[in-house]
Amino acid sequence: MSDAKLVEDMELETAVVAVDNPIVEVDNVNMFYGEAQALFDIAIGIPERQVTAFIGPSGCGKSTLLRSLNRLNDLVESARIEGQVRVGGEDIYTPEFDVIDLRRRVGMVFQKSNPFPKSIYENVAYGLRIAGENRRSVLDDAVERSLKAAALWDEVKDRLKGNALGLSGGQQQRLCIARTLAVEPEVVLMDEPCSALDPIATVRIEETISELKKDYTIVIVTHNLQQAARISDLTAFFYLGKLIEYSGTQQMFTKPGLKQTEDYVTGRFG
């Protein structure tokens, strides 16, 4: 409640670039948890095969926005959304839209690595299996391809039948990336994928993300400004549920358009 009031009182300035041919379009989205408003009039386009980073202080709504892109917010009973989110031109919030299909097209990697209590192989094959794919050769190919794309194949190829929970934290996170890639999504959402990892594991994930950019559209939420600067092509800065500035990463971190953004990226607040 207090946050919402604050925004109304402050009348923030905004500067948002328009993106040509976005694969994901967010159009005047307002989002509420019960009475509290979490997102205010968000409008943003996400370009294909680029890395887009969402930054901003805690509670600014960046994760909420991310989770509304694959309708994971549906799980929260009190959540309510206004406006349109389009993926590949289709409005995903119409009642007849197939949410199962959406989640296959828009995959997600979570903050805390969450491998299932199954073998490494079964973890990666899970998405295909639940979609009804049971042919061994198809599954084998998908597992190998995905693990290679997530740069995990060489480390686990000899123990695919081993328990996924026996992997290290960084390996588990890359396994989750592989699991997401196995169903060949168009967009991969990443919700602070490195926040629970040590610096070396973080570097490996970042390298993986840069590789994935060739084939996938990636949206990443991060608290780590250096990370955003290193890996993203576009950066969106959120504050108190509003999109403040959205531009090329280079520009955002060298000559930001707004005082507010400059203060944040230079570490004067946040």
Partner 1 sequence: MSLKFWRAGDPFIWLTGSALALCLLMITGLVSIILYNGLGVFWPKDIELLRLHSGEVVMGRQVDRQTIPETDEKFRLQLKIGNRDAYGLDFRWVDEALITVREIPAGVVVFERLEWGDAYVFIKAIYEGDKRLAGEGEEGWQVLQPLLEASEERWQRMEELERGEIGELNYRMEEQRLEVRRLLLENAPAEERARAEEKNAELWREYEELSERLVRLRAENERTEVVVELAAGQERRIKVADIVRAYRPNDLSTPGKIAVYLSKGWEFLAGQPRESNTEGGVFPALFGTVMMVMLMSLAAVPFGILAALYLREYARQGFFVRLVRIAVNNLAGVPSIVFGMFGLGFFVYGVGGSIDRLFYSETLPTPTYGTGGILWASLTLALLTVPVVIVATEEALAAVPRELREGSLALGSTKFQMIWSVVLPSALPGILTGVILATARGAGEVAPLMITGVVKLAPDLPVDSYWPFFHLERKFMHLGFHIYDVGFQSPNVEAARPMVYTTALLLLLIVLMLNLTAIVVRNKLRRRYASSAF
Binding site for partner 1 (CB under 8 A): 70, 72, 75, 77, 100-101, 103-104, 107-108, 110, 112, 114-118, 126-127, 130-131, 163, 165, 176, 179-180, 183
Least separation in angstroms between CB 259 and partner 1: 37
Q: Closer to partner 1 at the Cβ: 35 or 77?
A: 77
Q: Which of 253, 218, 166 is nearest to 50 (CA)?
A: 218
Q: Closer to partner 1 at the Cβ: 183 or 236?
A: 183
Q: CA-CA distance, 209 to 150, in Å (whole number)?
A: 8
Least separation in angstroms between CB 108 and partner 1: 4
Q: For residue 251, what is the enclosing H or E element? A: helix 249-254
Q: Closer to partner 1 at the Cβ: 187 or 229?
A: 187
Q: Which residues contact 91 (CB under 8 A, 6 or more apart)?
A: 84, 85, 97
Beta-strand pair 36-47/90-91: unpaired
Helix, strand, coil shares of the chain as percentages rounded to 5? 40, 25, 35
Q: Closer to partner 1 at the Cβ: 191 or 245?
A: 191
Residue 190: DSSP 8-state: E
Least separation in angstroms between CB 248 and partner 1: 29
Least separation in angstroms between CB 161 and partner 1: 12
